[in-house]
Chains A and B, each alone.
Chain A
Amino acid sequence: MNGVQKNFHLIFRKKFKMKNVPFGNKIENKCNKKLPSSNMMIYFYNKFILLQIFSIIIILFASSTVWAEENSEPIRFGLTPAIIHNQYGLLIDWREYLQKKLRRPVEFVSRDSYRETIDLIKQKKIDFAWVSDYPYVYLEDKRLARLLVTPLYQGRPYYCSYLIVPSSDLTTKSLLQLKGKIFAYADPYSNSGHLVPRYQLQQAGEDPNRFFRKTFFTWGHRRIVEAVAQGLVDAGSLDSFVWDTLSIIQPDLTNQTRIVAKSPEYGFPPIVARRNVNRADSAAMQQALLDMANDPEGAKLLKRLNLSGFAPGDAKLYDGVRKMMHTMADL
């Protein structure tokens, strides 16, 4: 398991049993709303309609092409810690759904770190990937990939970063109180699980590299919750969507943690297409994802993913992250 290179097909055989709790959309999104303005929403909506019409034409064209070419070359879809790890049953069903809709094989390629997924895109080994904001901005800026869709969580394309401590810790009120503590990051290329707390520390005049006594990466947001719950670390930072979803499917785990602070909202970790992927493939994939909310089977899958749907992405959603990256001189 060196480097934790888990090919999804290998994991597929392990038959993990996950609770497929139907997600209700009852959880209120409590991220510190900063961005959304009504103008922006209308803009998104209009663009969405246009894109949809455009996509349908493309799909009609693309599918006939597929038909003609009898393209059985698999589409490879990269998965990262952006989504909840270990939901293997769900991923199998989702893959089959996509295969049916795209009428060609789909392979999911799971990697534990964003860096590996970035490398796979660089090496053209995958065509699409669900990544975090940070890898997306990195890939976009390096002209390696472009935005395909942004998932909608509770109807909105936003998420934030949660700072959590063990529930036994009743005193910590902010990140700055954690000086000299042990802190868990999700991934060096994670926005919510790395960039955000470091940015906040820097903004507060602290040196993020010296502020904590010790830090390490768990290579997954879910593991941040485990590490904090077990008392392995004093605090950790992670994706709000992961914590919220876990609080539904594994409340006994999240109950052992307490959310100390929530960051401002950022664009939801998007699905990107490799820059030079076939346009038809790209359009077909985008359409298949956008259509999920309107398809009964797709809707069920979305519910299990704890998402309300996918929207055509807007690069501007990720400007906040880009700004932080520049500040931290990560770009």
Chain B
Amino acid sequence: MKSIMKPILDLSFRYKIPLWGGLLIIITALAVSFTLIINSYDELKEDLLINSETMGYSLKTTLFPAMLHDDIWRAYEIISAPINRAIDGSNPVNAETILVVDSALRVVVSAHPKSAPMLTEMRHLSPEYAVLADRITRMDGRSSQEINLPESKYYYYVTPISSENAHLGTLIIVHPKDVFLPRFTRIVGRGLSVGAIILAILLPFNWYWGQRMALPLVMLTARMGEISRKWPADLDPELYVYRDEIGKLFDAYTQMLRDLKDKGELEKQMVQSERLAALGQLAAGIAHEINNPLSGMLTAIDTLKCHSDADQRTMKTIALIERGLTQIKDTVGALLVEAKIKSRSLTPQDIEDVLTLITPMARKKALHIGWHNSLDEDVPLPATLVRQILINLLLNAVQAVAQQGEVAVDIGIADSQMRISVANDGKMLSAEQIAHLFEPFSPLSEGGHGLGLWVTYQIVHQLGGQVTVKRESNNQMRFTVSIPIGGVA
């Protein structure tokens, strides 16, 4: 049993809810129809009994004088009238035949004299009539009675023809048992068609409702199954707008997905910043190690230049070495970002100067720069570093953008943070590229040595701030820097 039911119970809710609902509706409809049908069958039988009783009584009353006067023709007319009247649909309980027997159980008259001739012994008519005759003999001769022989195809309704103490004979009304079959069939047909109409209305409604219930669950299940592999597509919030358990499940799922995504993002960022921090430490360490002997070498060369009278060729070589060493120093210096330089506070003019500085380059590419500077007073941040951040970001943007491109700059203060935002409509970066954007000697860098963003990142971090890169929906790459004011470590 369990194994038969299992495939059914394993079905998707999509089918299970409508199927169970449909099954219940059908069972209910059938149960109601059958109850009504059985009820009406009983009523029909009751009708038949009442009909026979009434007919028996009225026939008996008129038969009594006819039998008393031996008026056979009258008796025949009386009993054949209900048989020969036109049968119409309204009278389904027409008797098949009516028989009158005398007290010796001989046929006095029958509505069908050919099958039950006058004066025949009732017992000789058929074995069934013989049984009936025994039953009549046992009756008290006063009250009428229905006789239902189980094997017989007929109901017999037996009425004694008597008045006071005079007993003249017995009236037998014979109904075929299938007499109300046509009417019963009609009732069954009507019951079933009403049932069919109810099903025709309820089943599609049930199907729709089941689907409506199951679909959110089905979609939720599919998405939750996907989570381990990839971020599933967003659910349409219109799919289920009600505040019941399914609606709440939706909310919980959406919340959970958002939390998971945030967590993933955070992890990624942490990995990235840890990597950059490690790189920074490494770079700073190497720079320090290089810087010390480098300073010695440069001092030695300087001394050699001043106090030696070496020939031309040697001087040339020394100069060559000096340029090489200076280049190493510059490079190392660039790597070794030192934010702890004492600097004056940033003024709004400092920012405007950067625009002036960048304008000639922008003009060369015929760029449009959207400039929005909302600073109106001095900000207690080191002016040199902030300027350098802004310059780096602007240079990067100008470089990324194509001819006649667009660059938008937004500078302001919010929540005691200075916010610098630079957006460009240049080449869009992939997530992979964004992950490695702030590493030194970036392969994305064209022209420069690829340290601009690295330096920016290092400065921002040393000022306790954050840099983020986002692909905007309007096909722009936006770099946002936020630096806490006054909270500099």
**Chain A residues with a Cβ under 8 A of chain B:** 2, 4, 182, 184, 213-214, 216-219, 223, 227, 230-233
CB distance from B63 to the nearest CB of A (A): 13
Q: Is the beta-carbon distance between A233 and B118 smaller than 8 angstroms? A: yes
Q: With A2-B65, A217-B71, A230-B114 given, can you name 18 additional A-B contacts, CB distance below 8 Å?
A: A182-B117, A182-B119, A214-B118, A216-B70, A216-B71, A216-B72, A216-B73, A217-B73, A227-B76, A230-B76, A230-B113, A231-B113, A231-B114, A231-B117, A232-B72, A232-B113, A232-B118, A233-B113
Contacts of A184 in B (CB 8 A): 73
Contacts of B72 in A (CB 8 A): 214, 216, 232
Please encode chain B, from 101 to 142, with 1 for each CB lying within 8 Å of some chain A CB and 0 for all others: 000000001000110011100000000000000000000000
CB distance from A280 to the nearest CB of B (A): 41
Q: Is the beta-carbon distance between B73 and A182 smaller than 8 angstroms? A: no
Given known A2-B65, A216-B71, contact A232–B76 (CB-CB < 8 A): yes
Contacts of A231 in B (CB 8 A): 113-114, 117
Q: Is the beta-carbon distance between A218 and B73 smaller than 8 angstroms? A: yes
Whole-angstrom distance between the alpha carbons of A2 and B117 in the complex?
Answer: 26
Contacts of A4 in B (CB 8 A): 74
Contacts of A223 in B (CB 8 A): 73
Q: Is the beta-carbon distance between A182 and B65 smaller than 8 angstroms? A: no
**Chain B residues with a Cβ under 8 A of chain A:** 65, 70-74, 76, 80, 109, 113-114, 117-119
Whole-angstrom distance between the alpha carbons of A182 and B113 in the complex?
Answer: 12
Whole-angstrom distance between the alpha carbons of A108 and B34 in the complex?
Answer: 61
Contacts of A214 in B (CB 8 A): 72, 118-119
Residue of chain B at shortest CB distance from A223: B73
Contacts of B114 in A (CB 8 A): 230-231
Q: 4 tightest CB-CB pairs across the interface, nearest first?
A: A231-B114, A216-B72, A232-B113, A218-B73
Contacts of A217 in B (CB 8 A): 71, 73
Contacts of A218 in B (CB 8 A): 73
Q: Determine which of B70, B71, B74, B109 lies in contact with A232 in the assembled complex, contact meaning CB atoms within 8 Å.
A: B109
Residue of chain A at shortest CB distance from B115: A231
Residue of chain B at shortest CB distance from A218: B73
By CB atoms of chain B within 10 A, which of A182, A217, A227, A231 has the most? Answer: A231
Residue of chain B at shortest CB distance from A2: B65
CB distance from B234 to the nearest CB of A (A): 87
CB distance from B168 to the nearest CB of A (A): 15
Residue of chain A at shortest CB distance from B75: A216
Q: Is the beta-carbon distance between B73 and A227 smaller than 8 angstroms? A: yes
Contacts of A230 in B (CB 8 A): 76, 80, 113-114
Residue of chain B at shortest CB distance from A217: B73
Contacts of B118 in A (CB 8 A): 182, 214, 232-233
Whole-angstrom distance between the alpha carbons of A231 and B119 in the complex?
Answer: 13
CB distance from B80 to the nearest CB of A (A): 8
Residue of chain B at shortest CB distance from A213: B119
Residue of chain A at shortest CB distance from B70: A216
CB distance from A190 to the nearest CB of B (A): 14
Whole-angstrom distance between the alpha carbons of A217 and B71 in the complex?
Answer: 7
Residue of chain B at shortest CB distance from A232: B113
CB distance from A242 to the nearest CB of B (A): 16
Contacts of A182 in B (CB 8 A): 117-119
Whole-angstrom distance between the alpha carbons of A173 and B14 in the complex?
Answer: 88
CB distance from A141 to the nearest CB of B (A): 28
CB distance from B68 to the nearest CB of A (A): 11
Whole-angstrom distance between the alpha carbons of A213 and B120 in the complex?
Answer: 12
Residue of chain B at shortest CB distance from A182: B118
- Sample (23) of A-B pairs whose CB atoms are under 8 Å apart: A2-B65, A182-B117, A182-B119, A184-B73, A214-B72, A214-B118, A214-B119, A216-B70, A216-B71, A216-B72, A216-B73, A217-B71, A217-B73, A218-B73, A219-B73, A227-B76, A230-B113, A230-B114, A231-B113, A231-B117, A232-B72, A232-B76, A232-B109
Whole-angstrom distance between the alpha carbons of A184 and B109 in the complex?
Answer: 13
Contacts of A219 in B (CB 8 A): 73
Contacts of B65 in A (CB 8 A): 2
CB distance from A136 to the nearest CB of B (A): 24
CB distance from A126 to the nearest CB of B (A): 24
Whole-angstrom distance between the alpha carbons of A1 and B118 in the complex?
Answer: 24
CB distance from A215 to the nearest CB of B (A): 9
CB distance from A166 to the nearest CB of B (A): 8
CB distance from A35 to the nearest CB of B (A): 33
Contacts of B73 in A (CB 8 A): 184, 216-219, 223, 227
Whole-angstrom distance between the alpha carbons of A236 and B279 in the complex?
Answer: 138
Contacts of A227 in B (CB 8 A): 73, 76
Residue of chain A at shortest CB distance from B62: A1
CB distance from B369 to the nearest CB of A (A): 115
Whole-angstrom distance between the alpha carbons of A2 and B118 in the complex?
Answer: 24
Residue of chain B at shortest CB distance from A4: B74
